[in-house]
């Protein structure tokens, strides 16, 4: 058998091995996801039992009689053995039953469907701003390493990491809303535009465009742009720093030197070769940044009175509404863990070196 025939015969075996490797990676991803989410359920259950808040008193009040207290405690299953309580909690969590909110009197899962899209809308725009600006800044800083531009980019990133986000939010409101009147104030919409859009996705900008409500759309954008830019700045600090580090590593590789020796333009070497090889880990950075904004936008939502999941959890905690706190925490944690593991899976799928 010739070498060409041997190579052709080996191709199906290689494809089969690659397919098995891909299936193994997906199976490993699903197993890791299941174990991690189970650990998250355990953590939220333990938190609900160790915090110095009595969920029964949150329902019946301080002046309830002993009989009423005992009856409600039995109805909530808190008189059962701890393992039985966890089994019931696990089954309900898997089916999306987080109980009923004391604060809103609605099922917690319905409240989450109402508030979480607002956080997704805010975090998505913030991530887009951070990505569109942060990647070019990181590229320019890496190409001009040690220059004045590089120092400026590093200082911008340092400020984004160091300055408290709630202080930046207050200063932004004072300047752009109170003094310059460039944007709308806290909240998600002006009162005049409330209930003009029927919720479909839960994201007002998307729903307004779908229903042709352009005035509502621009009013929502005016409210959205300031908190989104604030989160975008936080995301930009992380993405620009990681882009600079990844590109500096690629620019030192032999293939870059070879491309320059061949006479390729510096623009093509940087954007077509070096950045392309850094794109896979950079994708992981962007996904992790998005997950961080989904999970960590509580202070921003509080400052801007943004009705997202962070504000919902904070208000519920202040009112001892543990069903809402644990349900919201579990959903946000599940989103963070899923995006984290998804970024790892994408890295393995897109970069053949990791396989």
Query: How confident is the model over 15-22, as a mean pLDDT?
Result: 62
Give the CATH number of the domain where residue 238 resides: 1.10.3720.10
pLDDT value of residue 137 = 92
Q: Any idea which residue has 């009689």 for tokens?
A: 65
Within a domain: 6: no
pLDDT at 24: 67
Q: Can you say whether residue 96 is alpha, beta or left, with left for phi > 0 and alpha for psi between -120 and 50 degrees?
A: left
User: Are the C-beta atoms of residues 304 and 227 closer than 8 Å to each other?
Assistant: yes
Q: Provide the pLDDT for residue 118.
A: 92
* Structural domain containing residue 322: 115-354
Domain count, the chain: 1
Cα–Cα distances in Å, from 104 out to 56, 108, 234, 279? 16, 9, 32, 45
Q: Is 105 helix (H, G, I), strand (E, B) or coil?
A: coil
- Average pLDDT score over residue span 138-154: 87
* Cα–Cα dist 291/127, whole Å: 9
Q: Exposed e or buried b for every residue in 132-154, given b needs 16+ CB within 10 A?
A: ebbbebbbbbbbeeeeeebeebe
Strand partners, 100: 107
> What residues contact 163, with CB distance under 8 A and at least 6 apart?
none
User: Is the residue at 145 inside a domain?
Assistant: yes
For residue 55, the model assigns a pLDDT of 75
For 31-88, how does the pLDDT look when each residue is reduced to its tens digit (9 = 90+)?
877 888 888 888 888 877 777 777 777 777 777 777 888 888 887 777 888 888 888 8
Tens digits of residue pLDDT in 307-352: 999 889 888 888 878 888 888 888 888 888 888 888 777 777 766 5
Please report whether residue 5 resides in a domain.
no
pLDDT band at 8 (very low <50, low <70, confident <90, very high): very low
> Does position 245 have pLDDT exceeding 80, yes or no?
yes
Predicted pLDDT of residue 216: 92
Q: Contact, 250 vs 256, CB < 8 A? A: yes
Q: What is the pLDDT of residue 147?
A: 87
Confidence tier at 217 by pLDDT (50, 70, 90) = very high
Q: What pLDDT sits at residue 121? A: 93
Is 268 a member of any domain? yes
121 or 253, greater pLDDT: 121
Please, what is the Cα angle at 287 between 281 and 293, to 5 degrees? 140
Check whether 195 has a pLDDT greater than 90.
no
In this predicted structure, what is the pLDDT of residue 97?
A: 85
How far apart CA 332 and CA 328 sit, in angstroms, is 6
Is pLDDT larger for residue 20 or for residue 184? Answer: 184
Kindly state the average pLDDT of the residues 263-287.
84
Q: In terms of Cα–Cα distance, which of 287, 153, 306, 162 is closest to 226? A: 306
pLDDT at 300 over 80: yes
Predicted pLDDT at 17? 61
**Within-domain flag for 1:** no
| Contact present, 228 and 130 (Cβ < 8 Å) | no
Q: What is the mean pLDDT of the chain?
A: 83
Collapsing DSSP to helix, strand or coil, 244 comes out as helix
Residues 6+ apart with CB under 8 A from 328: 108, 111, 112, 115, 309, 312, 313, 316
Q: Are 167 and 286 in contact (CB under 8 A)?
A: no
Q: Return the pLDDT at 3.
A: 45
Tokens representing 153 are 């980019």
d(CA 143, CA 272): 14
Q: Among 25-39, 131-145, 294-308, which stretch is predicted with the lowest mean pLDDT? A: 25-39
The dihedral built from the CA positions of residue 53, 310, 285 and 287, taken in this order, carries a sign that is positive
Percent residues over pLDDT 90 in the chain: 19
Model pLDDT, residue 219? 92
pLDDT of residue 132: 93
What's the length of the chain? 355
- Asked if the structure places residue 11 within a domain, the reply is no
pLDDT (0 to 100) of residue 129: 93
- Token pair, residue 289, equals 């940044």
User: Using one digit for the tens of pLDDT, what is the confidence trace for 199-214?
Assistant: 888 899 999 999 999 9
Residue 164 has pLDDT above 90, yes or no: no
Give the model's confidence band at 265: pLDDT under 50 very low, under 70 low, under 90 confident, else very high. confident
State the pLDDT confidence band at 136, using cuts at 50, 70 and 90: very high
Residue that has been written with the tokens 């191709």 in this structure: 11
Cα gap 332→115, rounded to integer Å:
12
**Does any domain span residue 208?**
yes
54 or 146: which leads in pLDDT = 146
- Main-chain dihedrals φ then ψ at residue 100, nearest 5 degrees: -115, 140
Among residues 301, 154, 153, 336, which one has the least CA distance to residue 230? 301
- Joined together, the tokens standing for residue 65 give 């009689």
Residue 13 lies in a domain: no
> What is the distance between the alpha carbons of residues 254 and 109, in angstroms, rounded to a whole number?
54
Give phi and psi for 307, each to the nearest 5: -80, 65
Place of tokens 């954008």: 221
């Amino acid at each position: 058998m010739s070498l060409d025939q041997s190579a052709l015969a080996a191709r199906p075996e290689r494809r089969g091995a690659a397919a098995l490797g891909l299936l193994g990676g997906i199976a490993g991803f699903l197993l890791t996801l299941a174990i991690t989410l189970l650990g998250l359920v355990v953590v939220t259950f333990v938190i609900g039992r160790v915090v110095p808040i009595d969920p029964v008193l949150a329902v019946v009040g301080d002046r309830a009689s002993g009989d009423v207290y005992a009856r409600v405690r039995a109805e909530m299953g808190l008189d059962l053995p701890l393992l039985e309580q966890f089994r019931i909690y696990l089954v309900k969590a898997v089916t999306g039953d987080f109980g009923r909110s004391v604060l809103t009197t609605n099922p917690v899962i319905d409240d989450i469907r109402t508030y979480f899209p607002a956080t997704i809308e805010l975090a998505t725009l913030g991530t887009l701003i951070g990505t569109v600006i942060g990647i070019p800044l990181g590229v320019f800083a890496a190409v001009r390493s040690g220059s004045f531009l590089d120092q400026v980019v590093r200082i911008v990133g340092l400020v984004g990491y160091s300055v408290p986000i709630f202080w930046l939010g207050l200063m932004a409101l004072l300047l752009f809303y109170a003094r310059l009147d460039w944007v709308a104030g806290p909240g998600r919409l002006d009162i005049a535009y409330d209930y003009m859009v029927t919720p479909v996705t839960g994201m007002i900008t998307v729903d307004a465009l779908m229903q042709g409500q352009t005035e509502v759309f621009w009013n929502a954008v005016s409210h959205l742009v300031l908190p989104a830019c604030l989160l975008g700045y936080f995301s930009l600090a992380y993405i620009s720093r990681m882009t600079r580090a990844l590109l500096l590593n690629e620019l030192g590789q032999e293939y870059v030197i070879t491309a320059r020796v061949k006479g390729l333009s510096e623009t093509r070497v940087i954007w077509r070769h070096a950045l392309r090889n850094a794109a896979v880990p950079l994708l992981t950075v962007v996904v992790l940044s998005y997950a961080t904004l989904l999970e960590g936008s509580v202070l921003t939502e509080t400052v801007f009175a943004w009705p997202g999941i962070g504000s919902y959890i904070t208000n519920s905690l202040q009112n001892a509404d543990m069903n809402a706190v644990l349900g919201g925490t579990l959903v946000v944690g599940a989103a963070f863990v899923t995006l984290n593991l998804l970024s790892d899976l994408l890295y393995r799928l897109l970069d053949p070196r990791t396989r």
